[in-house]
Amino acid sequence: MDGIIPLYKEKGMTSFACVSKLRGILKMKRIGHSGTLDPNVEGVLPICLGKATKLVQYLMASGKVYRGSITIGFSTTTEDLDGEVVDTKPLNEKLSDDRINELLASFVSDDLIQIPPMFSAVKVNGKRLYEYARNHEEVKRPERHVQIKYFKQTKPSEYDAEKHEQKIYFEVGCGKGTYVRTLAVDFGRKIGMPAVMSSLTRIKSGGFDISETVKLADIQKAADEGKLDGIVRSLDSALQQFEHIELDDNQWKMVKNGGFLYSNELDAHNNKCVLTYEGGVKALYYWDENKEVYKPEKMFSNK
């Protein structure tokens, strides 16, 4: 089975656990996901089956959209509500909407520098940061360069006058590798306050919207009833951003053996293009400027 399942990862499960569960349901080993979601985060997790595992990098590159909340007034070891509280400070005056919008907009950048949280899977000297954190070891964390397309409020914030805390509701569109937890913490830092990501849902990833997702229980039911075709999306659903070209018989004879194509043989207008034959996706080709030919970047089928 080859294709993509836009899974709704439920809160409390790891991304690896989702893959493991699906291997059992679908009775296949070649399964991968496109972008880890923390256990306390729910939402869209595209799952790649069979040959679609070759598409993971393209799904991840398409960007993600999250909705969640930031709570100002305390911070934790994990930058979300799973960790232990390490700092508290009362917010004695409510932030205005104008001030919140100004702060959120200040993060929008094609090259925002982030320091990943200690409780993350980033490797330093061959060891995961969360391993250092669990052993109470300090280690220098590498900078990450990420893209923030937009960062905005989704509804009015809530100020708790008794706790002296404020909850801000947001939506963020971002590139791969972005730690939304860290955005929450850095938001607080900009006003000298501890802050935490208090809720988070990924509403879009790999081109799939949360409205298109299915839960593990839905997949189990479809498998039991022999109706997986209604859940599994085609490989092409992850390649819509590329130009598509239908090959003729002679071109297909070349492509199925990984052959190169000159520009006069392929009426392409972009650096990358999806090649189809008899309506089926066969390969993704790219333009090699040095050789002045189109070459295979990914082969999906030679039949």
Domain spans, the chain: 3-61+207-237, 64-204, 242-299
Cα separation, 181 vs 179, whole angstroms: 5
End-to-end CA distance of the chain: 15
Residues above pLDDT 70, as percent of the chain: 99
Contact 274, 286 (CB under 8 A): no
Q: How many CA atoms lie within 13 A of 33 on its CB side?
A: 22
Cα separation, 177 vs 198, whole angstroms: 20
Amino acid residing at 276 = T
Domains 3-61+207-237 and 64-204 belong to one CATH topology: yes
pLDDT band at 37 (very low <50, low <70, confident <90, very high): confident
pLDDT band at 47 (very low <50, low <70, confident <90, very high): very high
Q: Does the annotation count 38 as an active-site position?
A: yes
Model confidence at 130: pLDDT above 80: no
Model confidence at 131: pLDDT above 90: no
The whole model's pTM is what? 0.88
Buried b (16+ CB within 10 A) or exposed e, 280-295: ebbbbbbbeeeeebbe
Lowest-confidence region among 10-19, 112-121, 265-274, 287-296 = 112-121
pLDDT for the residue 95: 96
In terms of CATH architecture, what is 242-299? Answer: Roll (2.30)
pLDDT band at 21 (very low <50, low <70, confident <90, very high): very high
pLDDT for the residue 105: 97
Cα separation, 4 vs 228, whole angstroms: 11
Q: Which fold has domain 64-204?
A: Pseudouridine synthase (3.30.2350)
Q: Which fold has domain 3-61+207-237?
A: Pseudouridine synthase (3.30.2350)
Give backbone dihedrals phi and psi of 299, rounded to 5 degrees, phi first.
-105, 130
Nearest to 233 by CA among 13, 29, 34: 34
Non-local (6+) Cβ contacts of 100 within 8 A are 153, 157, 168
pLDDT for the residue 193: 97
Cα separation, 8 vs 18, whole angstroms: 10
pLDDT tens, residue by residue, 48-80: 999 999 998 888 888 899 999 999 999 998 899
- Annotated catalytic residue: which of 2, 38, 186, 236? 38
Q: Strands 280-288, 272-277: parallel, antiparallel or unpaired by DSSP?
A: antiparallel
Considering the chain, what is the average pLDDT of its residues?
91
pLDDT for the residue 34: 83
